[in-house]
Amino acid sequence: MGQKKDLTGSEKSKIVRYLAEGCSSLKIAKLLKRDHRTIKRFIQNSQQGRKKRVEKPRRKITAHELRKVKRAAAKMPLATSLAIFQSCNITGVPKSTRCAILRDMAKVRKAERRPPLNKTHKLKRQDWAKKYLKTDFSKVLWTYEMRVSLDGPDGWARGWIGKGQRAPVPLRRLQGGGGVLVWAGIIKGELVGPFRVEDGVKLNSQSYCKFLEDTFFKQWYRKKSASFKKNMIFMQDNAPSHASKYSTAWLARKGLKEEKLMTWPPCSPDLNPIENLWSIIKCEIYKEGKQYTSLNSVWEAVVAAARNVDGEQIKTLTESMDGRLLSVLAKKGGYIGR
């Protein structure tokens, strides 16, 4: 009977069961065909239990250091407790102590998803709602670009925010990094696109209009009837490439001007129903923590997810506009739930 180094998990379970049945260590060794010393060592170690944790003396924080921490927390919104203390050159403080100190002067928060609305924003949102309250939204084409990255939706983790401070709004990048920029539109129960912006192209006024010409106008709009074109209203947000004089004049030459080009209030992603469609698509392509190794693979995932979106889902989104306008007015221009 040779001596083995370690007991397997199965053998350890059997030892516990045999001990419960009243077997001696010698009998257990024979039953398992293991060395008696190995069995005795396991039993002795199990009976000793865990060693009592020795509490180390905690590092004391001076009043001067506390003031430095408070200033650092104000200058570094959403930073970790370790980063805040390291910026103050305060070392040797365990995480539990760092967090206990920060709780008296800050709190853990996530970055705000939407920028705060000021009085002017709210008034413009109310004016917009009143202007389009009687609009037939089945004739509106809602458009928006979405950036899809290889690793999932962009966002910031939780971090410490000083009391009385607002969490910063993350930059919503549409170009750059490991991702693909995608444009799409919805009207009534129909999805227009999605169309992929060429990699490396930065959407300024000229490239945005060229993109619309090569995709939206040539591949979709030109196939529509004259009566459809006459009644369709084109919606886009106030991105610089959309709202510039160049883009506005170019769209006017395409017949999208005055009442056919919807004005858009500032800071109003909650009013655009296509934002909800992008949420549906993102949930599908990033489900179960899915990540991608190439731009082509994430683009193919977007196309596949878009094809699976039912027309009734799109219709539900576009038909929600009447309720959104009423909600904006009820909230006096404030954000609405999406």
Q: What is the pLDDT of residue 306?
A: 96
Flag whether 147 is in a domain: yes
Residue 78 lies in domain:
63-105
Q: Are residues 99 and 201 in the same domain?
A: no
**Nearest in space to 137 (alpha carbons), one of 332, 324, 331:** 324
Using left for φ > 0, alpha for ψ between -120 and 50, and beta otherwise, residue 92 falls in left
Flag whether 164 is in a domain: no
Q: Are residues 93 and 182 in the same domain?
A: no
Tokens standing for residue 151: 């690793």
Q: What is the pLDDT of residue 187?
A: 97
Q: Are residues 141 and 33 in the same domain?
A: no
CATH number at residue 231: 3.30.420.10
Q: What is the pLDDT of residue 129?
A: 95
Flag whether 58 is in a domain: no
Q: Are residues 101 and 123 in the same domain?
A: no
Q: Are residues 38 and 187 in the same domain?
A: no
Flag whether 165 is in a domain: no
Q: Are residues 211 and 297 in the same domain?
A: yes
Flag whether 15 is in a domain: yes
Q: Are residues 87 and 127 in the same domain?
A: no
Q: Are residues 100 and 21 in the same domain?
A: no
- The answer to whether the CB of 306 falls within 8 A of the CB of 194 is yes
Q: What is the pLDDT of residue 233?
A: 97
Q: What is the pLDDT of residue 53?
A: 59
Q: What is the pLDDT of residue 166?
A: 72
What are the strands of the beta sheet with 190-196, ordered from one edge?
190-196, 179-187, 140-149, 233-235
Q: What is the pLDDT of residue 174?
A: 47
Using left for φ > 0, alpha for ψ between -120 and 50, and beta otherwise, residue 33 falls in left
Number of structural domains in the chain: 3
Q: What is the pLDDT of residue 47?
A: 65
Enclosing H/E stretch for 324: helix 321-330
Let me know if 245 is exposed, middle or buried by CB neighbors in 10 A (0-12, 13-18, 19+): exposed
- Single pTM value for the model: 0.65
Flag whether 264 is in a domain: yes
The CA distance from 185 to 236, in Å, is: 9
Flag whether 67 is in a domain: yes
Q: Are residues 309 and 187 in the same domain?
A: yes
Total residue length of the chain? 338
Q: What is the pLDDT of residue 176?
A: 43
Q: What is the pLDDT of residue 296?
A: 94
Q: Are residues 197 and 241 in the same domain?
A: yes
Q: Using DSSP, state whether 150 is helix, strand or coil.
A: coil
pLDDT in tens, the chain (338 residues): 445 567 887 888 888 888 878 888 899 888 888 888 888 888 888 766 555 555 566 677 899 999 999 999 888 877 888 889 999 999 888 888 888 888 888 877 766 667 789 999 999 999 999 999 999 999 999 999 999 988 776 544 456 677 777 766 654 444 444 789 999 999 999 999 999 999 888 899 999 999 999 999 999 999 999 999 999 999 999 999 999 999 999 999 999 999 999 999 999 999 999 999 999 999 899 887 788 889 999 999 999 999 999 999 999 999 999 999 999 999 999 998 75
Place of tokens 């989104």: 317
Q: Are residues 257 and 305 in the same domain?
A: yes
The CA distance from 81 to 62, in Å, is: 17
Flag whether 29 is in a domain: yes
Q: Using DSSP, state whether 90 is helix, strand or coil.
A: coil
Exposure class string for 138-159: b at 16+ Cβ within 10 A, else e: eebbbbbbbbbbeeeeeeeeeb
Enclosing H/E stretch for 275: helix 274-285
Q: Using DSSP, state whether 287 is helix, strand or coil.
A: helix
Q: Are residues 123 and 74 in the same domain?
A: no
